[in-house]
């Protein structure tokens, strides 16, 4: 079962942009890459640094702290399946965006 988190309209990032969102006790980073939206946990699984402010190259985000690069689609570290950031599906219904959060992952 999953929860559909409605992204406030004022927080939807413009093309090429990103935004940090709060959901319960976690921070989510939402990215707009060529009008496709991707959501991940904002915390790098290596040492917890924020990913939202990292260098974005297409669908790859680079952690500011140690340079680890993660695929926004799968959440995996590039060229590895050993380290992963949680990624969330994003749905659009008209102008409204929803981030789908698995209830087990969110702690509900």
Average pLDDT for the chain: 92
Residue identified by tokens 């290596």 is 46
Secondary structure class of 51 (helix, strand, coil): coil
* pLDDT band at 26; cut points 50, 70, 90: confident
CA angle, 24 then 59 then 28, to 5°: 5
**Contact 50/42 with Cβ under 8 angstroms?**
yes
Claim: this prediction has a pTM higher than 0.85: yes
Q: Which two tokens stand for residue 34?
A: 């060529």
Over the stretch 53-85, which tens digit does the pLDDT of each residue have? 999 999 999 999 999 999 999 999 999 999 999
Please state the domain extents for the chain.
Answer: 2-103
Strands 36-41 and 90-93: unpaired
Residue 106 has pLDDT above 60, yes or no: no
Instruction: Tell me the CATH number of domain 2-103, given options 3.40.50.300, 2.102.10.10, 1.10.8.10, 1.10.3720.10.
Output: 2.102.10.10
């Amino acid at each position: 079962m999953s929860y559909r988190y409605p992204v406030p309209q004022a927080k939807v990032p413009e093309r090429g942009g990103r935004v940090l969102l709060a959901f319960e006790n976690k921070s989510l980073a939402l990215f707009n890459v060529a009008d496709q939206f991707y959501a991940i946990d904002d915390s790098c699984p290596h040492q917890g640094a924020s990913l939202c402010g990292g260098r974005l190259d297409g669908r790859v985000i680079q952690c500011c702290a140690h340079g680890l690069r993660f695929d926004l689609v799968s959440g995996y570290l590039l060229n590895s399946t050993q380290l992963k950031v949680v990624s969330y599906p994003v749905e659009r219904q008209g102008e409204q965006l929803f981030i789908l959060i698995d209830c087990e992952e969110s702690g509900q």
